[in-house]
Amino acid sequence: HPGVHPQVIKPGGISHAKRCGSKMEKVPEVDIESDGVFKYILVELTDKKSGKVKTIVRGYEWAEYHADILDRIAPRVSELGLEYKCVGGGRIRHQKSKSIHVYGYSVDFGQADHKMTIDILKRNFTDYESENITFSNSGY
């Protein structure tokens, strides 16, 4: 076909670089229920090529066990070529009155660094008063 030229994207080209650089950006830092009490995990993602590390928070009411959450997200982050490691868990009480309380631990993964968790939550729930995002290292 005259005038039709297939587009060739060379590895290392701009398009390729953009794709590689945005792997981490494709994964939201936080995905939790908007209301209720539920299990959560803290997961560390690593991009082996760039060495970048990102910690994400995931919490869902449907999860009977903390491991259920990891089982759900593992294939998605693996598809992006990211390595993952659960660094702990606990529970979150999220109220529509714009308050979040993080506490407890995971039998499977141990207690997450709840201080790190609330720092991540504060960055993502900027319309909540900072003092309404709290944690306690006690409780199950």
Q: What is the pLDDT of residues 72-107, one digit of tens each?
A: 999 999 999 999 999 999 999 999 999 999 999 999
Two structure tokens written together for 80: 């992006």
- Tens of pLDDT along 6-33? 444 334 433 333 444 568 888 999 999 9
Overall average pLDDT of the 116-123 stretch:
98
- Laid out side by side, the sheet with 83-95 consists of 30-32, 53-60, 36-46, 83-95, 99-103, 133-135
DSSP single-letter state for residue 31: E
Q: Which listed residue (1, 5, 16, 66) is catalytic?
A: 66
Cβ–Cβ under 8 Å, residues 38 and 61: yes
Architecture of domain 29-135: 3-Layer(bba) Sandwich (3.50)
Per-residue model confidence (pLDDT) at position 6: 44
Nearest CA to 100 out of 128, 59, 60, 127 is that of: 128
Overall average pLDDT of the 108-137 stretch:
96
Tokens 């529509």 locate to 96
pTM of the model: 0.83
Largest CA distance in the chain: 72
Per-residue model confidence (pLDDT) at position 48: 87
Residue 116: strand, helix, or coil: helix
Two structure tokens written together for 93: 């009480």
16 noted as active-site residue: no
Is residue 39 part of an annotated ligand binding site?
yes
Residues in the chain: 140
**How far is it, in rounded angstroms, from Cα 135 to Cα 30?**
16
Query: What percentage of the chain carries pLDDT values higher than 70?
Result: 83
Cβ–Cβ under 8 Å, residues 91 and 52: no
- Average pLDDT value over all residues in the chain: 87
Two structure tokens written together for 38: 């539920």
Per-residue model confidence (pLDDT) at position 139: 63
